[in-house]
């Protein structure tokens, strides 16, 4: 079998990032693409014609062997995950993704895969370096001494190490990106698995449609993050896969904002001013997290460039339209008055 006859495999292809990655590979002229996800096809974020789309359970080793058969490159994105509300309440489910990572690495090794990409997360970083909203941007070495996000973060860190040792012991070329809060159109925006930008956009849409002009914010809103737009995520992923760097690399924006600032930006885009209700007992994660892109720039001569304003404008418009398609002018079933006890008028 020649290289041109071999498959490129994307797992988690029914998810937000996976769907965009398959679309990008098609734009790049790849035609032997195998897209795999455990969800039924009608639940995939994107389904592309001309692709070997498969609904399969990758927690089983024999399934992974079928997926990797004849493959030259694997993008391993499959995982049970979501936003902070999900990962803080589904820690065991998140850790069970280790079955997928283990079996995919074994299958890639045994099937002669040439390059294996692993989608890790900024949740691997040590918690004691993220206690201040004015956090110093995290460098790749800040994952150690290990104190990862409980559940999801530990699983990601363990699988990073496993990928490293598969390279050292078996010669499997591995590449690893630590994604920082990826967002954009065609992502989850309700149901509990959505990330903060999508959740905030949905809440602002609901405030506009309800004309109540109020919004609930988890925590005190002072926690900080950086948010990576999906186009930059896909571009960075491809650059990391094609690079010679086998160590984990940050893939995130370095534009640090507070959740309050994120809400303010969504308000500006929507043209509204909202009363803010705070839910101090809601899941919020670490106090601050940002991406140091020094190593990424050194390796790829590139870093994310799409501003939060640009990306959030596109995301808000898409969520607004998606909301109207699903619910018309009515409010969705998850809508409820803010539960927070504290208010601040603006």
Alpha carbon distance, N-terminus to C-terminus of the chain: 65
Q: Does residue 299 fall inside a structural domain?
A: no
Asked whether residue 286 falls in the same domain as residue 338, the answer is yes
pLDDT at 129 exceeding the cut of 70: yes
Q: Are 35 and 52 in contact (CB under 8 A)?
A: yes
* pTM, 2 dp: 0.93
Q: Does residue 335 fall inside a structural domain?
A: yes
Range with the lowest mean pLDDT among 67-71, 264-268, 279-283, 300-304? 279-283
Q: Does residue 205 fall inside a structural domain?
A: yes
What pLDDT band is residue 340 in, cutting at 50, 70 and 90? very low
Range with the lowest mean pLDDT among 59-63, 172-176, 248-252, 327-331? 327-331
Q: Give 211-254 pLDDT, tens digit per residue.
A: 999 999 999 999 999 999 999 999 999 999 999 999 999 999 99
Asked whether residue 73 falls in the same domain as residue 135, the answer is yes
Asked whether residue 143 falls in the same domain as residue 283, the answer is no
Mean pLDDT of 35-49: 97
Q: Are 115 and 175 in contact (CB under 8 A)?
A: yes
pLDDT at 24 exceeding the cut of 80: yes
Q: Give 181-205 pLDDT, tens digit per residue.
A: 999 999 999 988 899 999 999 999 9
Q: Tokens 């010679």 appear where? A: 244
Q: Does residue 277 fall inside a structural domain?
A: yes
Asked whether residue 9 falls in the same domain as residue 148, the answer is yes
How many separate domains does the chain show?
A: 2
Q: Which domain holds residue 116?
A: 3-182+230-251
User: How would you classify the pairing of strands 7-11 and 33-37?
Assistant: parallel
Asked whether residue 278 falls in the same domain as residue 333, the answer is yes
Model pLDDT, residue 331: 84
Model pLDDT, residue 346: 42
pLDDT at 329 exceeding the cut of 80: no
Residue in 17, 28, 3 with CA at minimum distance from that of residue 119: 17
Asked whether residue 220 falls in the same domain as residue 115, the answer is no
pLDDT at 23 exceeding the cut of 90: yes
What residues are labeled active site? Answer: 152
Asked whether residue 195 falls in the same domain as residue 238, the answer is no
Sign of the torsion formed by the C-alpha atoms of 119, 316, 232 and 310: negative
Asked whether residue 16 falls in the same domain as residue 158, the answer is yes
Burial 266-302 (b: 16+ CB within 10 A, else e): bbebbeeebebbbbeeeebbbbbbbbbbebbeeebee
Asked whether residue 9 falls in the same domain as residue 127, the answer is yes
Model pLDDT, residue 248: 98
CATH number, domain of 174, equals 3.40.50.720
Q: Does residue 301 fall inside a structural domain?
A: no
CATH number, domain of 319, equals 3.90.25.10
Asked whether residue 217 falls in the same domain as residue 169, the answer is no
User: How would you classify the pairing of strands 173-179 and 115-121?
Assistant: parallel
What residue spans of the chain are helical by DSSP H? 16-27, 61-68, 84-87, 91-95, 97-110, 152-170, 196-210, 230-242, 259-270, 294-300, 308-327
Asked whether residue 101 falls in the same domain as residue 222, the answer is no
């Amino acid at each position: 079998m020649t290289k041109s006859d071999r498959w490129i495999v994307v797992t988690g292809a029914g998810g937000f990032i996976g769907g965009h990655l398959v679309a990008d590979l098609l734009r790049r002229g790849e035609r032997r693409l195998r897209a795999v996800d455990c969800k039924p096809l009608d639940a995939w974020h994107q389904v592309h014609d001309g692709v070997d789309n498969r609904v399969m359970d990758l927690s089983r080793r024999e399934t992974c062997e079928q997926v990797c058969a004849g493959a030259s490159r694997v993008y391993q994105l499959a995982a049970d995950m979501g936003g902070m509300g999900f990962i803080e309440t589904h820690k065991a489910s998140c850790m069970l993704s280790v079955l997928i990572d283990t079996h995919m690495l074994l299958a890639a090794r045994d099937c002669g895969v040439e390059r294996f990409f692993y989608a890790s997360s900024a949740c691997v970083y040590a918690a004691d370096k993220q206690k201040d909203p004015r956090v110093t941007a995290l460098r790749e070495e800040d994952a150690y001494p290990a104190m990862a996000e409980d559940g999801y973060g530990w699983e990601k860190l363990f699988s990073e190490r496993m990928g490293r040792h598969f390279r050292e012991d078996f010669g499997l070329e591995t590449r690893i990106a630590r994604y920082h809060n990826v967002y954009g159109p065609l992502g989850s925006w309700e149901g509990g698995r959505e990330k903060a930008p999508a959740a905030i956009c949905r809440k602002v849409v609901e405030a506009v449609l309800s004309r109540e002009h109020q919004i609930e914010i988890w925590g005190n809103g002072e926690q900080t993050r950086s948010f990576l737009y999906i186009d930059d995520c896909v571009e960075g992923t491809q650059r990391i896969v094609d690079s010679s760097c086998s160590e984990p690399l940050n893939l995130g924006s370095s534009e640090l904002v507070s959740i309050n600032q994120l809400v303010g930006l969504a308000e500006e885009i929507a043209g509204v001013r909202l009363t803010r209700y705070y839910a101090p007992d809601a899941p919020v994660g670490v106090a601050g997290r940002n991406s140091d892109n020094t190593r990424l720039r050194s390796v790829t001569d590139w870093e994310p460039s799409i501003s939060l304003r640009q990306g959030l404008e596109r995301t808000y418009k898409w969520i607004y339209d998606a909301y109207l398609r699903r619910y018309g002018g009515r409010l969705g079933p998850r809508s409820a008055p803010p539960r927070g006890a504290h208010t601040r008028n603006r």
